[in-house]
Amino acid sequence: MKKLIIGTRGSDLALWQANFTKDKLAEIGVESELKIIKTQGDKILNLRLDKLEGKGFFTKELEEGLLNGTIDIAVHSHKDLPTTHPAGLIIAAVSEREDPSELLLILKDCVDVTQKLSLKTGAQVGTSSNRRKAQLLAMRTDLNIEDLRGNINTRIQKLRDENYDAIMIAKAGVARLNLDLTEFHMEVIDPTELVPAPAQGVLAIQIREDDQELFELLQKINDADVAAAIAVERKVLNLFEGGCHMPLGCYCRKEDEQYEIWTSKANSGDDFPDRLFLRVDSLEGLAEKIVAKFNTERKLPAKVFISREIGEHSYFRRALEKNNIEIEGRSLIRTFPIVNVLDPFYLKHIDWIFFSSRNGVEYFFNLKPTLPKHVKFGVVGRGSEDALRKFGHLADFVGETGDITEVAEVFSPLVKGATVLFPRAQDSLLTIQKSLSADTKVVDLPIYETVIEEDIDQTHADILIFTSPSNVEAYFVDNLLEPGQKVIAIGNSTGKKFDEMGVQYALPYSPDEIGLAEAVFGIDIK
């Protein structure tokens, strides 16, 4: 094999990507060198990405280099590629996937940890991505989103110069360049919360279609599992006929022999996005299934019942009302404190405090505890994390899924040998506590009790969402499901109640308002 010429853009990140590919080729005995090519996206820095003409403004010149034979390989950030390739070119290989999370960099004097994302009210956030803008505004309507162009170092310098209060960039680029960003407050936003661009975190190696020898060689560095997952993401983008600037996020991953996929789609950066989560056994036909769920002619529920009060400006209410879905929110239980003064004994030598509900957070901090200086916090999910923020604390551990057993498996090794305090409901199931190793000390603190309401009225909503086992018990004392009604259970302990009743139910991936909106959108109404 002759010495290959790798075409690349000239930014630090593009050069890292090209050198990474060069090293991969060297590992399989192939020599190569780099050739830097400027693209339209590098030359025009005064326009938003969605204002640039045509598609492929970071890739077109590289592709022309392939077609005219001046380079043999083009290395791209896969998310920058149009979903249809120029005639005569193919993607021969893709890299492993770097973490596709988003990174929010915040000037330290603009931090407010009591608010979601740790941003002060009305903060100016820099991004030129409509996808990021739509999802950020859905989480925080008060934010001011401003255009931000330039390579990763240019963007960070603009934040240093205080042109913005915060900027949002892909975590993958920061990780690849090993940048020191300790001067800023950093919030990592998981791809299950803010859905990344299709193929975010993946490199694409593009070659001429007729170069069969090179294609076969590149299979040695191709990540087939990543290729299969991002093929679905990019097909969704293609079916929506969207380019890089479309406010579409799509993220697919394999987990325990199943595929999990999140999709977020808005009409513009100012539009509230619709969200969908699916868990499937096969990727076959998945992109088409996702697109069908976003069909404007599709029948959605007219009314959704949820067993808790829903605020006027909450994410869940806005997500449903955007689609003209009525919400009936009422709690079927009442909670009462059972501890009015906290014995200092409970806080002696505590290493961690774990909260399994928002009620636990609120009742605990209402006791005005004096906490050990270096105590860490664990929470069952993003809803409890948001409740903890309101009291000025950030969670050191956040459960990712609504499955308390899975959360326990991840949390247990983190606290091995530590002392963990559990403020909880009097009748809680103690799932986390029972999962901890024998050398972890559990300090148990029941601080509130749950009382079931009486004479609960039947709901005629299309979908019923139950937020706890107690709410299930309360509702079904006097009521039955009507024909056609569908059920969503928050958390697997709530789901077990329906298992006992022989009732089918959907389980949101995440037991928070985003997860609930995804679950409602995923249910088909006949």
Return d(Cα 275, Cα 258) in angstroms, integer.
20
CA distances (Å), 394 to each of 115, 305, 373, 390, in order? 10, 31, 14, 9
Walk across the sheet containing 397-398 and list its strands.
333-337, 441-452, 419-425, 352-355, 376-379, 397-398
Contact partners, residue 386, CB within 8 Å, separation at least 6: 116, 358, 512
Backbone φ/ψ region at 232: left (φ over 0), alpha (ψ -120 to 50), beta:
alpha
Q: Which residues of 490-508 are buried (b: 16+ CB within 10 A; e: fewer)?
A: bbbbbbebbeeeebebbbb
Please give the structure tokens belonging to residue 204. 């694409």
Please give the structure tokens belonging to residue 129. 């991505």
80 is known as an active-site residue: yes
Return d(Cα 291, Cα 287) in angstroms, integer.
6
Out of 80, 165, 403, 462, the active site residue is: 80
Residue 326: enclosing H or E segment and its boundaries?
A: strand 326-329
Contact partners, residue 448, CB within 8 Å, separation at least 6: 335, 336, 337, 338, 339, 359, 360, 363, 425, 426
Please give the structure tokens belonging to residue 358. 């928002």
CA distances (Å), 12 to each of 17, 19, 54, 188, in order? 9, 10, 25, 22
Hunting for tokens 């820099």 — which residue is that?
Answer: 126
- DSSP lists the bridge partners of residue 450 as 335
Give me the active site residues, please.
80
